[in-house]
Amino acid sequence: MRPVAGGRFEEPGLECGVSSVDFKLLVHFVAVVQYGSFSAAAAELGVSQPTVSRSINRLETSLGALLLDRSPQGATLLPAGRRILDLAEEILADTRAIRDRLTSVSTLRAGSLRIAVAQSLVIHPMADVIKELSVTAPGVLVKLVNAESPERVADLVRSGQCEVGLADGETSAAGTVSRRIGDRRVVLAGFPGDDWPYGRGRRLPFEAIDAVPLITGPMNGAMERLVRDSLSRPPARVAVRCGSWRAVWDLVALGVGCALLPEALVRTELDGVPYWKFEPELTLTEHLIVRRGSISPAATLFVRLIENANAGRDELPGDG
């Protein structure tokens, strides 16, 4: 805008112009109004008075209007200044709110974390890790995305739908990093019947699962793969195939059949249900999957917690 006759400035469009000016200029303008003079504003902001004067001059030039009446007694608002003061304060408040929000996310006070996780790992080890994460970062919302296979876990991380993943088998995908973080002993749990020839505490050959009605989890899940890899064929007696591992546990507890399950899960979730270990050991491997490059503070915390949980676990040695 250009000044018109008499040194006055035309004022249409002031509100539109405010949103495009330098944030610092608005800070200096609002401070002058709040503290009543250029010198008081400069002292409060920790800058020199000429710096504040230059900021106000630049702001007035960019808006094409005089905003403040300067006098030895201080600075007072002109009509154009009154028109933009509320808007300037609103812009400053919104900007500070955005900065606070970003700071909250970066310091684990807010935000969300999406984790792709195999169903077989939702309870162990995820439950304890999420509990600790919620205590450490109570403002972070954890969103679990069930994945039916390690490949699906990796795909969810690769595509950006999840930031980190926990798979129950080895896998890889372009743009991701996968590393093995632990093993979990797998046992046969359930009530096999009166004619079951193996006493409690005895180790089983893997072929023993052919003698029991087997309850399996989601197709192509971790235990399905273990069976195929160990027997080189499907098991002889699949009685029930469930869509979730929760249903498997419930049916085992009700005596419907037997299932291959992580030993830690049987101990905590199926108290009183007998189980047998295998000879040789049958294990489920856990793999942590993250995208290449930097990850969020929340994801970094999760990685540290899941690695600490596995480092502190000694499940496989001994008979427990």
According to the model, what pLDDT value does residue 315 have? 47
Residue 21 has pLDDT above 70, yes or no: no
CATH architecture of the domain with residue range 5-106: Orthogonal Bundle (1.10)
CA angle 136, 141, 146 (to 5 degrees): 115
- Report the mean per-residue pLDDT for the chain: 83
User: Minimal CA–CA distance to 159: which of 149, 174, 171, 180?
Assistant: 174
Strand partners, 261: 187
According to the model, what pLDDT value does residue 6 have? 35
- pTM for this structure? 0.60
Q: What mean pLDDT do residues 90-111 have? A: 69
Residue extents of the structural domains in the chain = 5-106, 112-311
Which range among 101-110, 114-123, 140-149 shows the weakest confidence by mean pLDDT? 101-110
User: Minimal CA–CA distance to 170: which of 149, 147, 148, 145?
Assistant: 149
pLDDT range class, residue 8, cuts 50, 70, 90: very low
3-state secondary structure of 255: coil
**CATH classification of 112-311 is 3.40.190.290, yes or no?**
yes
User: Minimal CA–CA distance to 166: which of 315, 15, 305?
Assistant: 305
User: Minimal CA–CA distance to 134: which of 291, 301, 288?
Assistant: 301
Residue 313 has pLDDT above 60, yes or no: no
Quick one: what percent of the chain has pLDDT higher than 70?
85
Greatest CA separation found in the chain? 109
